[in-house]
Chains A and B, each alone.
Chain A
Amino acid sequence: MADIAARAPAPAVRKAKKPRSKAAKAFFDGIGKNNPVFVQILGICSTLAVTNVVKNTIVMCLGLIWATAMSNVSVSLLRKWIPARVRMIVETLIIAVWVIIVDIVLRAYMPDISRQLGPYVGLIITNCIVMGRTEAFGLANPPGLSFIDGVSAGLGYSYILLIIAVIRELMGSGTLMGIRILGPWWTNWSIMVMAPSAFFLLGVLIWIVRGKILKEEKK
C-alpha cells in the first residue's frame, strides 16, 4: 500500500522536469534507465571475470569506455556507406581494431597490468555492450551523439563493475588497490575472490536497483 502511495506523485514530478537535450538523454540513458548491465543485462561475463581486484577493473573499464566510444563513432561516420548486409562484419572489424590497439598499448607501456589481465582485454571484442551500442545507436545517429552514447554506456558498465570490485577486493583480500584497509581482525572471504561471488553480488545489485530505483521509471 505504501508502495502505491509513494508511486502516485511520480508522473507529476517528471513532467515538471525540463526536457533533456538529445545529448544529455544519450548520456544519462546509458548510466540510468538504459544501463547496459542492470537493464540490458549485457557484458556480465567480464563483470565476473575481472572484478576481484580493483586495479584490473579500472583498466578494464577504461578499455571498454574507449572501445565503445571509438567504435560507436567509427560506425556512425561510416553509417551511410556500410551495406546493411555486411554491417555486423564491419562492426566487429571496427571493434576489434580499437580493442587490439588497447591491447598493444598496454603490452608496450603497462606490461605488468597487461600480464595480469591476460586474455580479458582481447575479450572486450566479444563484449555485447560494444556491439550492442554500435548496432542500436551508432548505425542510426551522428558521430557526436554516438561518442556520448558510447562513453555513457561504458560509464554505466564501469561504475557497476567498480562497486562489485570494491566489495570483492575489500571482503576477499582486505585491501583496496593492493593497499591493506582492513586490520588483522578481518578474515578474508575466499569466495569473494572467486567467480561465484560476482554472481551473487551482481544478482543482489540488480535486484536492489530494479526493485527499488527503476520501478518508478517503468510506471
Chain B
Amino acid sequence: MKQRILTVLFTIAITIVFVAPISFVYLLTKGQVALNEEVFLKRAVLAAAGITVPLANAEVVSLFSARAEEVKAGDDAPASYRITSEAGGEPAGYVFIRTGPGLWGEITATVGFDAELASLTGVDFLRQSETPGLGARISEKWFTEQFRGKKGPFTTVGEGEPASESQFDAITGASITSNAVMSILNSTISQAKGLVK
C-alpha cells in the first residue's frame, strides 16, 4: 500500500517538476509568438496591397499602421482592410481576407484590389496546409506576384507558360491546389463590390 501511494506521489511530483519549465518557457516567448502572428498578418496584407514589405518587424508594423485600416463590415463578414495612398487620404485599394477549401485543409488568402475594384494589386497566403514541395509552392513569390495588375475571373495555364490578363500560371503536380486558389480568387472578384460597403 505504501509503495502504491509513493508511486502516485512520485508521478504527481515529477509532472509538476517537468511542467514548470515548460510554462516558464511558454510565458517567456508568449509575447514573441503573438508578435510573429501579428506581423505575419500585416506582411500578408501589405504584400496583397502591392506594397513592398520591409524586412524588419518594427518597420512592417509602422508601415501597416500608416497605410492600412481595418474596415468593419459586420460580425460575420471576413476581415477587410482599406489601403490609403502614400500621401494619405484617398483610398488606394482594398485587401480582403478570404478562406476556401484546399487539398488537405483550408486555404486563407489575402486578396488585394485597386480603388476601383477593377484589378488585383496582389495575393498572399496566410494559412495553407498543402503538400510541401507541390501545392505549398503557392506561398512562393513567383506564384503570388503574378497576380499583380491582373483582372479576373481567372482560368489557369500550365506552369511557366505566358498568361493573359485573366489567366495565371498553375503549379505542375498541384492541380487541385491551383483550382482551389482559382475559386477563392474568382469568388472574391465576383463579390468584391459587396464586400466594400
Contacts and interface: CB of A to CB of B under 8 A. Distances in A.
Interface string A100-140: 11001101110100001010000000000000000000000
A101 B7 contact: no
Interface stretch (A3-11, A27-35, A36-44, A75-83): A75-83
B10 A81 contact: yes
A190 B177 CA distance: 14
A78 B14 contact: yes
Contact of A108 (B10, B33, B129): B33
A193 B10 contact: no
B161 to A, nearest CB: 14
Nearest to A107: B33
B36 A107 contact: yes
Contacts of A56: 132
Contact of A190 (B29, B40, B172): B172
Nearest to B159: A188
Question: Would you call the interface of chain B mostly helix, strand, loop, or mixed?
Answer: helix
Interface in B27-50: 29, 32-33, 36, 40
Interface residues of B, number: 26
A111 B36 contact: yes
B19 A194 contact: no
A53 interface: yes
Given A83-B6, A97-B18, A172 B25 contact: no
B78 interface: no
A101 B18 CA distance: 11
A93 interface: yes
A101 B3 CA distance: 32
B4 to A, nearest CB: 9
A104 B26 CA distance: 7
B40 A111 contact: yes
Nearest to B37: A111
Nearest to B15: A93
20 contacts: A52-B131, A53-B133, A81-B10, A83-B10, A86-B10, A89-B11, A93-B15, A97-B19, A97-B21, A104-B25, A105-B29, A107-B36, A108-B32, A108-B36, A109-B29, A169-B133, A188-B172, A193-B133, A193-B134, A194-B134
Interface of B: 3, 6-7, 10-11, 14-15, 18-19, 21-22, 25-26, 29, 32-33, 36, 40, 129, 131-134, 136, 172-173
Interface of A: 52-53, 56, 78, 81-83, 85-86, 89-90, 93-94, 97, 100-101, 104-105, 107-109, 111, 116, 118, 169, 172-173, 188, 190, 193-194
Given A104-B33, A193-B131, A193-B173, 6 more contacts: A86-B7, A86-B11, A93-B15, A94-B18, A108-B36, A109-B32
6 tightest A-B CB contacts, nearest first: A190-B173, A108-B29, A193-B133, A108-B32, A111-B36, A83-B7
